[in-house]
Amino acid sequence: MFKELVINYEEHEARVALLENGMIVELFIERGDETTITGNIYKGRIQRVLPGMQAAFVDIGLDQAAFLYVDDIIDQAALEMANYFEMENDSDFYKCSDGDVLKSGLPEFVESYDINIGELIKEGQQLLVQVAKSPIGSKGPRVTTHLSFPGRYIVLMPYVDHIGISRKIVNETERTRLRELILSLRDNKYGYILRTAAEGINSDRLEKEILFLVKTFEEVKKRNQEKSASTLLYRDLSISFRAVRDLLTDDADKLVIDSEQEYEKVQEFLRKYMPDSNFSIELYKDKEPIFDAYNLEADIERALKKRVWLKSGGYIIIEQTEALVAIDVNTGRYVGGHNFEETVLKTNLEAVKEIAYQIRLRNIGGIIIIDFIDMKKELHKEKVMTQLAEEMKKDKSQINILPLSELGLAQITRKRTRTNLKRTLNEPCFYCGGDGMLLSGKSICHKIFRELINEAGDMMGNKFTIKVHPEIARLLHGEEKHLINSFEKRFQKPVAIYPDTSYHMEEYHIFETLDKR
C-alpha cells in the first residue's frame, strides 16, 4: 500500500492529509488556536479542587480552565513503589501505534489505595502540566503532570524510570540491543520509549536525540523557575514537523508540500534531526491548489455530510451527539437479486468498509453504535462483525468492539484524541441552533392563535398587532387565515399582521394597541 502525506500550508492554516493508495484516510488541521495545543507544557495554577470528582481545574492561561484527574498527578512516593508499569505516548499524531505505551495514570495497585486528590494538590498551588487532550466542544483541555517529550526515535519521560520498546520491533536480538544501548547512554533516571523508527539506529544518532530531548526538558525547568503561573513554557512542533517526525516512513512513503518556505524548513529540520534519512519530499509548484489536484476537497465535504451513499445504492446515516454517535445502515436504492438475505448481507458488508473509513477520516471518538440491517442467519452476523474488526485494524486509535447485541447493534468505543472533523470545520446552524429542525409554519400559526386567546382575557386595548416572519405572515393571510377569523369572531377584536424580514421563522411578538378611531 502506497502512503503519502499531502500538506497544504497557508499563513493562518495548515492541513495535512494522509493518503493510502490515493484516498484520504486522515486529516489534521491546525489554525494556531486553542484547539491544537496537545503536547504544550504550561505553568498552571490550581483554581479549584473537586474531591467528589477526584479532579481539579487548572488555570493555564486559556479561555477554558484545564481538567486534571487524580491519576494524572504524579505522586513520587507511589511511583517509587512501582517497579514496572506500561506507558503510552498520547501525542496528536502518534496515537499509541508505537508499541509500548505510557499509561496515563498510576499503577493499578497504587490506584487501589484510593488516594484523595486533596492530599496531592491544594488550591492556589503552581505546577507543571502538559496538555494530553485539546479542548473538544464545550470541554476544556485535559492536562497531566506526566510530562513526555517525543522525538523521532525515542520518547523522553523525565518523571519515570522505565525503558520501553515498540512492540512493532519484533526481533528479540534487536530489542535486546536497543535496551542495552539506551541503558549505556542515559546518565540519569529518566524514562525512555524507543519508537518503531529506532530499529537499526546507531549509538551516535540515538545519543544526539537523547541530548536534545534532555536539553529541551532542562529549558522547560528553567523557564518554570523564571515565569509566573498560567504561562506557556513549551510549544510542541508545528503540524508540518509533527507530520515528518511521526508519520513519515512509519505511515507514509512520500511527503508533498505546497509552501516553499515550509519546504525549506522541513529540509532544515531533516538535516538537523534526521541527517541519515532519505525521505521522498517534493515541493508542489502547480497553480491548481494542491488539495484540488489530489481530489481531496470533495472527500472532505463528503465527510461532513450526514448521509453517505454506498456504491451499491445503499447508504449510511451518521448522527453525532455529545455523548455518542449513531450510525444507521439502509438498503436505499439497492434491491439486490432474488435472495433478500444475501442483499442484506452484501449491503452490511459494504457499509462496514465505509463506516470504518468514515470513523477514521472524521476522527469520531467516544461511544459508537451501529444499527446494521437485521440479519437472521448467525453466519451472516459473524461475517459482518469479523469484517468490521478487520477494517478497524487500519485505525491506530485505541478501539474496542463489543459483540453484536440482542437488538442487532454493534457497539464500538474509540479513544478521543482531538476534535473531530465535523466540530473542526462546522459550527451549529445560526438559525436552528444546531437542532436541524424548525417548527412547521402551521405549528407556529397555531401557537400564535393559542397565545392570542390567552392574552385576550386580560386585554386592555381594543386591537392586537402581530409582528412575524414574512412566511408566517403569508400563512396567516392565506391558508391559516381561518385561525385569525375565528379569533376575531370569538372576541370581537381585530388582529393586524405585519411581516418583518429581520424576524427568525419561529419568532413573533404580539402587541395590544388602542385604536383611536
- Measured distance CA(121)–CA(130) in Å, rounded: 16
Are both 148 and 264 inside the same structural domain? no
Kindly state whether residue 299 falls inside one of the protein's structural domains.
no
C-alpha distances (whole Å) from 283 to each of 72, 88, 192, 254, 256 are 42, 34, 35, 11, 6
Kindly state whether residue 115 falls inside one of the protein's structural domains.
yes
Kindly state whether residue 431 falls inside one of the protein's structural domains.
no
Are both 45 and 164 inside the same structural domain? yes
Are both 266 and 342 inside the same structural domain? no
Kindly state whether residue 257 falls inside one of the protein's structural domains.
yes
Per-residue pLDDT, 79: 44
Are both 380 and 396 inside the same structural domain? yes
Copy the grid coordinates of residue 508.
413573533
The 3-state secondary structure of 160-199 reads: CCCEEECCCCCCHHHHHHHHHHHHHHCCCCCEEEECHHHC
- Bridge partner residues of 511 (DSSP): 465
SS3 150: strand
Q: Give me the number of domains the chain comprises.
A: 4
- Measured distance CA(105)–CA(88) in Å, rounded: 10
Are both 206 and 112 inside the same structural domain? yes
Is the CB of residue 131 less than 8 Å from the CB of residue 66? yes
Contacts of 88 (CB under 8 A, 6+ apart): 96, 101, 102, 103, 104
Q: Which CATH number fits the domain that encloses residue 500?
A: 3.40.1260.20
Are both 164 and 205 inside the same structural domain? yes
Domain stop point among 234, 255, 276: 234
pLDDT along the chain (517 residues), means of 10: 88 89 90 77 94 92 90 58 34 36 37 70 92 82 91 89 86 92 89 88 88 91 91 87 74 85 87 72 93 93 92 91 90 72 91 95 94 92 95 89 91 86 85 84 94 83 90 95 93 91 93 70
Copy the grid coordinates of residue 185.
547512554
Kindly state whether residue 386 falls inside one of the protein's structural domains.
yes
Are both 496 and 378 inside the same structural domain? no
Which is it for the CA torsion 153, 155, 156, 161, positive or negative?
A: negative
Kindly state whether residue 430 falls inside one of the protein's structural domains.
no
Residue-wise DSSP of 49-60: EETTTTEEEEE-
- Measured distance CA(261)–CA(10) in Å, rounded: 10
Are both 353 and 477 inside the same structural domain? no
Considering all CA atoms of the chain, what is the largest pairwise distance in Å, rounded to the nearest integer?
Answer: 103
Are both 209 and 245 inside the same structural domain? no
Per-residue pLDDT, 113: 46
User: pLDDT tens for residues 177-230?
Assistant: 999 999 999 888 899 999 888 888 889 888 888 998 999 999 999 999 999 989
Per-residue pLDDT, 458: 76
Copy the grid coordinates of residue 482.
381561518
CA angle 437, 441, 447 (to 5 degrees): 100
Are both 124 and 229 inside the same structural domain? yes
Is the CB of residue 26 less than 8 Å from the CB of residue 299? no
Q: Which CATH number fits the domain that encloses residue 341?
A: 3.40.630
- Measured distance CA(369)–CA(372) in Å, rounded: 10
Per-residue pLDDT, 95: 35
Is the CB of residue 198 less than 8 Å from the CB of residue 178? yes
Contacts of 213 (CB under 8 A, 6+ apart): 149, 151, 154, 156
Are both 96 and 130 inside the same structural domain? yes
Buried b (16+ CB within 10 A) or exposed e, 200-235: ebeeebbeebbebbbeebeebeebbeeeebbbebbe
User: pLDDT tens for residues 416-454?
Assistant: 877 888 888 888 888 888 788 889 999 999 999 999 998
Q: What is the pTM of this model?
A: 0.72
Kindly state whether residue 391 falls inside one of the protein's structural domains.
yes
- Bridge partner residues of 280 (DSSP): 254
Residue-wise DSSP of 70-136: GGGS--HHHHHH-S---B--B-SS-BS-SSS-B-SS--HHHHTT---GGGT--TT-EEEEEEEE--B
Kindly state whether residue 433 falls inside one of the protein's structural domains.
no
Q: Which of 100, 107, 231 is nearest to 155 (CA)?
A: 100
> Which range marks the domain in which residue 284 is found?
3-33+239-293
Q: How far is CA 347 from the centre of its chain?
A: 28
The values of phi and psi at residue 4, to 5°, are: -145, 155
Q: Which CATH number fits the domain that encloses residue 15?
A: 3.30.420.60
Are both 312 and 377 inside the same structural domain? yes
Domain stop point among 252, 271, 293: 293
Which is it for the CA torsion 421, 424, 426, 430, positive or negative?
A: positive
Contacts of 287 (CB under 8 A, 6+ apart): none
Buried b (16+ CB within 10 A) or exposed e, 404-415: beeeeebebebe
Copy the grid coordinates of residue 40.
504544550
Q: Which of 8, 34, 7, 35 is nearest to 420 (CA)?
A: 35
Copy the grid coordinates of residue 500.
418583518
- Measured distance CA(330)–CA(347) in Å, rounded: 8
Per-residue pLDDT, 515: 64
